[in-house]
């Protein structure tokens, strides 16, 4: 019996079940829509726990949901306001700008939307990894999204592929969100490690 429980196949099934349950509970949690940010923060927090070798349980999901609710909900409001402003700008540009000015304004708006998407990629991994104020959290997400552009780009590709999977293979919705979050967190966490190691090396150099 112990050999079965210790087997690689059993561990694979256990992880698959955990991510399936996490995926389902996240979907249920975002049904009110306004809880999207707190639910996603909890999703990333549980994945962080799993990466650190800590307990991967549904109870922890709700603990993280409550713990990060205020901060993640506030960030959600900020993103909603910024997104609304960008949408209003798009409507205004479409109605009142023409010719070269239209192309310039549209290109600028596209860059701002892209930047917002890049920031959103890092916002959750940073939120669950560091104890920062909302302002510092957004600043850090902005910094990482620019300084580690390849990571930002890869995360966007992952999101795009996840969207395609959902469209062409609807049943993938049962697992896709938790595994997408896992891939994104893994990529972002690698950049955090690089920065932390660089800071430690600089501190050692100063001491030496």
Q: Which residue has the higher pLDDT, 176 or 51?
A: 176
As for how many domains the chain has, the answer is: 1
Mean predicted lDDT score pLDDT of the chain: 89
User: Can you say how many angstroms the Cα of residue 3 is from the centroid of all Cα atoms in its chain?
Assistant: 37
Tokens of residue 79, six digits: 């993103």
Checking if the pLDDT of 198 tops 90, the result is no
pLDDT score of 92: 84
What is the C-alpha to C-alpha distance for residues 118 and 110, in angstroms, rounded to an integer?
12
Checking if the pLDDT of 3 tops 60, the result is no
Q: Is the dihedral of CA 21, 22, 23, 24 positive or negative?
A: positive
Q: Are 127 and 75 in contact (CB under 8 A)?
A: yes
Checking if the pLDDT of 190 tops 80, the result is yes
Which tens digits make up the pLDDT trace of 76-128?
Answer: 999 999 999 999 988 888 777 677 787 888 889 999 999 999 999 999 999 99
Q: How confident is the model at residue 53 (pLDDT cuts 50, 70, 90)?
A: confident
pLDDT score of 146: 93
Checking if the pLDDT of 7 tops 70, the result is no
Checking if the pLDDT of 56 tops 80, the result is no
Q: How confident is the model at residue 5 (pLDDT cuts 50, 70, 90)?
A: low
Host domain of residue 159: 2-207
**What Cα–Cα distance (Å) separates residue 55 from each residue in 48, 59, 165?**
10, 10, 29
Q: Are 181 and 43 in contact (CB under 8 A)?
A: yes
What is the C-alpha to C-alpha distance for residues 72 and 123, in angstroms, rounded to an integer?
9
What is the C-alpha to C-alpha distance for residues 50 and 15, in angstroms, rounded to an integer?
10
C-alpha atoms less than 13 angstroms from C-alpha of 1 in its C-beta half-sphere: 0
Torsion of CA 3, 4, 7, 13, to 10 degrees: -160
Helix (H, G, I), strand (E, B) or coil at 148: coil
Residue located via tokens 């079965």: 4
pLDDT score of 172: 92
């Amino acid at each position: 019996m112990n050999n079965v429980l210790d087997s690689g196949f059993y561990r694979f099934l256990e992880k698959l079940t955990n991510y399936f349950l996490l995926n389902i509970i996240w979907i249920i949690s975002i049904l009110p829509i306004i809880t999207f940010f707190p639910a996603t923060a909890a999703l990333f927090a549980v994945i962080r726990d799993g990466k650190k070798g800590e307990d991967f349980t549904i109870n922890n999901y709700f603990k993280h949901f409550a713990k990060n609710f205020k901060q993640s909900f506030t960030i959600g409001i900020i993103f909603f306001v910024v997104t609304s402003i960008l949408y209003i700008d798009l409507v205004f540009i479409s109605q009142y700008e023409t010719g070269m000015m239209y192309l310039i304004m549209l290109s600028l708006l596209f860059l701002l939307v892209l930047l917002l998407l890049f920031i959103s990629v890092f916002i959750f991994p940073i939120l669950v990894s560091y104890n920062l104020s909302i302002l510092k959290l957004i600043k850090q997400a902005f910094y990482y999204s620019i300084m580690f552009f390849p990571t930002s780009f890869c995360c966007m590709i992952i999101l795009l592929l996840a969207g395609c999977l959902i469209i062409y293979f609807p049943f993938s919705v049962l697992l896709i969100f938790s595994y997408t979050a896992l891939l994104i967190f893994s990529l972002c966490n690698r950049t955090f490690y690089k920065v932390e190691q660089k800071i430690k090396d600089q501190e050692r150099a100063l001491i030496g």
